[in-house]
Chains A and B, each alone.
Chain A
Amino acid sequence: MEQIKQPEKKSWYDRWYKILLAIPVVIMLISLIYLGVFYSKNHTFMFRDVSLSGGTTITLKGNIDSANLESQLKNKFSDIEFKKLTDLTTGNPVAFVIESSTTPDELKAGVEEILGYKLTDENSSIEFTGPSLSQSFYKQLLIALVISFVLMSLVIFILFKSFIPSIAVIFAAFSDIIMPLALLDFLEIKISAAGIAAFLMLIGYSVDTDILLTSRALKKVEGKLNERIYGAFKTGIFMTITALLAVLPAFFIVTGLPDSFRQIFLILSLGLGADIINTWLTNASIIKLYCTKKGIK
């Protein structure tokens, strides 16, 4: 069917897409600056919990008189933190978590003295990670994160075989890591080993919408570019929202879960949130610019 040529009316998206690109760029810049300042101040990229900095976690089962315990322990140990875990169905406290960089023997003795009973493997769990091991864990997980990112980039290059669209996807994935990381640092949330694993997962998890967008924009023969991008957006945003709804309850509703579990879902939630911006503002604008330059309509 032959199309009648007429001067194309510029749509809302045609006029604004370059401006839209500025939003994620600004957020990204703020995040990077914040991380830079953070690094120069703390000499690390993130606050680390005991699994990555060394120390002891004691989880006490049941309903504990936590206020008294907290105040007394704070006098004894300088760097001590507490967390309460509740049951999902009843809302009753299931456990009380104590974290400190001290050795298990010291922390255990301190807790036992205040509680007035012995900690056994019936009433408590004790986890200890030595400082040297946690340092090497941290280092290795960062190496893993880099390897993971490089491998993902390779896959993207092989998939699209052209530079700009591939870089756009890789940049979106990079932003998906940087933005949540800056936010976690800002909120002073301590990241565990499982949390870094979640960042790795995020690399794999967040690019599917980018692949969807890029392949629809570049390869599909039907429809105009804007329509194809909008079609991809409709599918992609639904994907991300579904994934967000699948991971969010784990963080918000349920607190009586192992910490590794909560960290994974918290970071995936933040990453997916960032992914909405990075796919549909950053990546979409770059791909539209690219297609316009290349004459792909």
Chain B
Amino acid sequence: MAKITFRIWLLIIVLILAILSIAPWGYFEKGVLIKSVEKNSTAFNYGLRQGMIIKQIDDNIIKNAADYSAIISRLFAENKTLNKIIIQTSQGEFILFEVKSLEITVAGIPGTKLKTGLDLSGGARALVRPANFSISSSEINDLIAITTERFNVYGLRDITIRSVRDLQNNNFMLIEIAGATPRDLQDLVGSQGKFEAKIGNDTVFEGGEQDITRVCRNDAQCARIESCSQVQGGASCRFSFLIYLSETAAQRQASITSKLGINTTDSGQYLNKKLDLYLDDNLVDSLFISRDLKGKAETQIQIQGSGSGNTQDEAAKDAQQNMNKLQTILLTGSLPYKLEIVKLDTISPLLGKAFTKNIIYLALIVFAIISIILFIKYRKIKITLAVILTMFSEAFITLGIAALIRWNLDAPSIAGIIAGMGTGVNDQIVIIDEAVSESNASLGEKIKRAFFIIIGAFFTIIAAMLPLFWAGAGMLRGFALTTIIGVSVGILITRPAFADIIKKIQE
């Protein structure tokens, strides 16, 4: 039997590592993956965490996300509180008592560790920068910190926010959200979120921890949808929630209200000016101030607002979302800059699925075509198989590296892999043609010549792709990255192994 050389061993080992990195065993696993757990919820306090896999709830075995939703909606029907619930997870059993609802989000277990980009898996992407001026790297980091907090408070998880810089040294904030697109994304990232409560022209308090010590959220006692009514063209619902002012802000309010007069109306006595709530300089609501509050340093303030929609359900949902947005802004304060969304993409997950399917078919067609023409040209099954094996190894190892560095494979990245396979085949043709040439040189010498060409081609591709890492805020980085990984894997691992395989075939 032919001896397996060091280079061939290296290829085999790297292939095994690539399989470990891609980890395709998710396909065989049953259960659902916890994507997020609401902080300080019952589930959180009993120890459930992101990344665990739920296998069973009470006596019900959970095979997939559909099982999970069916069981949850059955268990928590009619908003009843469960005395006890037993959850079996990949990391042991958790027994939860007095559960009103499970405040966690789950998803099916991913088949592999490969991650697909937004254009293939769906989601939203926003590229944001301060309007009209450029900011430094440290300033963009502050912006990212505040925005991240805003998303967390709003209740959006599974978001990546990072800074990107382009060739002209512009700094941007890139926000990516996998899966469904939140309706308020544009408001959350595009608005500065400057909240002001004013009486006349005097500011009483602003959003942020300096003036506001606590905001009541997720507690029907002090934050709720108050009432809904039919209005022209649909329905409208009002919400209200309590906030707690700091001592200084309360004193400020006392001194401003002490100067106000009192109006008597049909519904009671109020101060002669209202408390106006502004969001990004737009008036969102005006509230009557009860006469009892005149000159009083009251720390509890009831904030109100409304939502509208075609039906009462829609209006209630809208009011709920507006309340959540306002609570978020009051808690996190305003962003230091006015922002401009320079790019906003929301990609349907279903379209992404159709694209992915077509790309897989395409890759198979390309494989088939190359195999057929190689066989027609060389008429040797061994050589054809060796080329196909090498081509497949290259693509597979590239995917393995992508999984290892948690790279999101978007359409340009996959195009890069296919283009890399194209160069790979070219290099192998050079090796084969040198090896089978009728030259008098030794086989080793011929292969050395082939490698001169291959290494030259390798460096030109690297040189050509490098600028793409920075150009256009890195939006096409995936294409450069997978191409460079592909050709590097080729030159370091697969091509040397292929040369040895061809030597064995020729000998």
Contacts and interface: CB of A to CB of B under 8 A. Distances in A.
Interface of A: 59, 61, 87-89, 94-95, 104, 121-130, 132-133, 136-137, 139-141, 143-145, 147-149, 151-152, 154-156, 159, 193-194, 197, 200-201, 203-205, 207-208, 211-212, 215, 219-220, 222-223, 231, 234-235, 238-239, 241-243, 245-247, 249-250, 253-254, 256-258, 260-261, 264-265, 268
B156 interface: no
Contacts of B359: 257, 261
B351 A125 contact: yes
B362 A249 contact: yes
A152 B458 CA distance: 10
Contacts of B258: none
Contacts of B369: 245-246, 249
B460 interface: yes
Given A121-B349, A197-B412, A239-B429, A148 B467 contact: yes
Contacts of A133: 127, 342-343, 473
Contacts of A223: 439
Q: Which 5 A-B pairs have the closest CB atoms?
A: A204-B461, A204-B464, A151-B463, A144-B467, A208-B457
A248 B353 CA distance: 23
Most interface-central of B127, B345, B426 (chain A CB within 10 A): B426
Nearest to B484: A204
A239 to B, nearest CB: 4
Interface string B441-477: 1000000010011001101111111111011110110
Interface of B: 119-120, 122, 124, 127, 166-168, 170, 180-181, 340-351, 354-355, 357-359, 361-362, 365-366, 369-370, 373-374, 377, 411-412, 414-415, 418-419, 421-423, 425-427, 429-430, 433, 437, 439-441, 449, 452-453, 456-457, 459-468, 470-473, 475-476, 479-480, 483
21 contacts: A59-B351, A61-B350, A121-B181, A125-B351, A139-B168, A140-B167, A140-B470, A148-B468, A156-B456, A204-B483, A207-B456, A208-B423, A211-B457, A238-B433, A239-B425, A243-B423, A246-B370, A254-B358, A254-B361, A256-B358, A257-B411
B505 to A, nearest CB: 18
A140 B166 contact: yes
Contact of B465 (A148, A219, A239, A242): A148
A234 B348 contact: no
Contact of A211 (B342, B456, B479): B456
Interface of B is mostly: helix
A108 B461 CA distance: 41
Which among A59, A200, A235, A258 has the highest number of chain B CB atoms within 10 Å?
A258
A95 B347 CA distance: 13
A122 B473 CA distance: 28
B412 A194 contact: yes
A39 B452 CA distance: 40
A235 B467 contact: no
Contacts of A152: 460, 463-464
B450 to A, nearest CB: 9
B340 A122 contact: no
Nearest to B127: A133
B374 A242 contact: yes
Given A144-B471, A246-B369, A260-B415, A212 B463 contact: no
A145 B468 CA distance: 9
A125 B472 contact: no
B355 A258 contact: yes
A269 to B, nearest CB: 11
Contacts of B462: 204
A147 B354 contact: no
Contacts of B437: 231
Contact of B419 (A205, A234, A238): A205
Contact of A143 (B419, B467, B480): B467
Contacts of A235: 429-430, 433
A256 B347 CA distance: 15
B468 A260 contact: no
A50 to B, nearest CB: 11
A137 B462 CA distance: 21
Contacts of A87: 354, 357-358
A260 B412 CA distance: 7
Nearest to A255: B358
A201 to B, nearest CB: 6
Contact of B467 (A125, A200, A207, A253): A200
A132 B342 contact: yes
A143 B358 contact: no
A258 B411 contact: yes
Best-buried of A194, A197, A220, A250 by chain B (most CB within 10 Å): A197
Given A132-B342, A254-B361, A243 B422 contact: yes
A59 B470 CA distance: 28
Contacts of B463: 148, 151-152, 154-155, 204
Given A94-B354, A148-B464, A159-B456, A124 B348 contact: yes
B361 A155 contact: no
A88 B365 CA distance: 11
- Most chain B Cβ neighbours within 10 Å, of A94, A147, A208, A247: A208
Contact of A201 (B351, B439, B483): B483
Nearest to A57: B345
Given A140-B470, A241-B373, A246-B369, 12 more contacts: A61-B354, A95-B351, A128-B343, A136-B168, A137-B475, A140-B471, A143-B471, A194-B412, A200-B465, A211-B460, A212-B430, A243-B425
A292 B168 CA distance: 47
B361 A88 contact: yes
A204 B490 CA distance: 15
A155 B479 CA distance: 21
Contact of B468 (A144, A219, A246): A144
Contacts of B414: 261
Contacts of A141: 471-472
Contacts of B170: 136
A261 B361 contact: no
Given A130-B343, A243-B422, A261 B411 contact: yes
B440 A155 contact: no
A125 B439 contact: no
Contact of B342 (A129, A231, A246): A129
A111 B89 CA distance: 46
B455 to A, nearest CB: 9
B444 to A, nearest CB: 16
B354 A204 contact: no
A105 to B, nearest CB: 9
Contact of A215 (B343, B351, B452): B452
A212 B429 CA distance: 11
B468 A200 contact: yes
A268 B422 CA distance: 11
Given A245-B369, A246-B366, A147 B181 contact: no
A144 B351 contact: no
B345 A128 contact: yes
A137 B170 CA distance: 11
Contacts of A201: 419, 461, 464-465, 479, 483
Contacts of A258: 119-120, 355, 411
A220 B430 contact: no
Contacts of A122: 348-350
